[in-house]
Amino acid sequence: MENFLAYPLQDIPYVIVTLLIAFTIHELAHAWVALLFGDDTAKNEGRITFNPLKHVDPVGFIFVIIAGFGWAKPTPVSPYKMKHRKVGSVVVSLVGPVSNLLLAFVGMGLYFLFLQMDVGYSQTILHFFNLFVYLNLVLFIFNLLPLPPLDGYQILSEFLPLKWKLKVQAYENYALLFFLILVITPLSKYTISPIFNTLIPWMTGEMASFYYFFFQI
């Protein structure tokens, strides 16, 4: 069965818990910041909540476990309801990935905290937080890729001249297919995987250095 999963079978419970937290906070952040900018679309659909059932897409959730990538239920946003449409759109798109970065940072802090403590099941706890940090960094980087339908594409599109933006929008459906090919085919070894293999160890190392210094004080 493990041959059909992206993670070892014993790690699946940790992956599930991490995704429930990560997806919920990510989409909640989108909804809450959109409301701050005057867009109540997500609020009216009950998306400003910590209830993961409101944010998790079952198919996207299963895809993460099987294929190593997936998606949550997109938060509905109406940019033209926002007080500052362009700035609001960028900030709302950016806050989702940033929330995953903050979760990774907090997770690393908890990892070091338990590392200092002599508690039962410490190896299990450390393993969970290690995976928690990794998955949230994956979500942070993944969602900032400038490909539809990801947040990175939404951010980039706000800076494109209108003429280019309209041209790109006309090919969004094809771009989605291109995105799936990059992610689920062997091409990922030469396109997306090098990005993760470079950035995740670097970011993990920087956070670990911070907390190592912090806990030495």
Residues whose CB falls within 8 Å of the CB of residue 89, separated by 6 or more in sequence, listed in order:
77, 79, 82, 154, 158
Residue 170 lies in a domain: yes
In this prediction, residues 138-142 reach a mean pLDDT of 94
- How far apart, in whole angstroms, are the C-alpha atoms of residue 202 and residue 126? 20
Q: Quote the pLDDT of residue 40.
A: 95
* Domain coverage including residue 62: 11-215
| Whether 117 contacts 109, CB under 8 Å | no
In this prediction, residues 10-36 reach a mean pLDDT of 95
Residue 1 lies in a domain: no
Q: Which helix (H) or strand (E) holds 33?
A: helix 12-36
In this prediction, residues 68-88 reach a mean pLDDT of 89
For 75-84, 107-116, 162-171, which range has the lowest pLDDT when averaged over its residues?
162-171
Q: Quote the pLDDT of residue 120.
A: 65
Residue 5 lies in a domain: no
Q: Quote the pLDDT of residue 111.
A: 93
In this prediction, residues 18-27 reach a mean pLDDT of 96
Is the confidence at residue 22, as pLDDT, over 60? yes
- How far apart, in whole angstroms, are the C-alpha atoms of residue 214 and residue 15? 28
Residue 180 lies in a domain: yes
Is the confidence at residue 126, as pLDDT, over 70? yes
Residue 2 lies in a domain: no
- How far apart, in whole angstroms, are the C-alpha atoms of residue 102 and residue 125? 19
Residue 101 lies in a domain: yes
Please, what is the average pLDDT of the chain? Answer: 88
For tokens 């670097």, name the residue.
202
In this prediction, residues 181-210 reach a mean pLDDT of 87
Is the confidence at residue 65, as pLDDT, over 90? no
The pTM score is 0.90
- Copy the structure tokens of residue 149: 């339908």
Of 27, 45, 172, 206, which is the active-site residue?
Answer: 27
Q: Quote the pLDDT of residue 44.
A: 95
- How far apart, in whole angstroms, are the C-alpha atoms of residue 3 and residue 5? 6
- In the chain, the number of structural domains is 1
Task: Identify the band that residue 6 occupies on the pLDDT scale cut at 50, 70 and 90.
Answer: confident
Residue 6 lies in a domain: no
For 31-45, 65-79, 127-141, which range has the lowest pLDDT when averaged over its residues?
65-79
Residue 22 lies in a domain: yes
CA angle 147, 151, 153 (to 5 degrees): 35
Task: Identify the band that residue 35 occupies on the pLDDT scale cut at 50, 70 and 90.
Answer: very high
Instruction: Encode burial over 66-93: b for 16+ CB neighbours within 10 A, e otherwise.
Output: eeebbbbbebebebeebeebeebbbbbb
In this prediction, residues 52-65 reach a mean pLDDT of 89
Could you confirm whether 27 is annotated as catalytic? yes
| Whether 70 contacts 138, CB under 8 Å | no
Task: Identify the band that residue 4 occupies on the pLDDT scale cut at 50, 70 and 90.
Answer: low
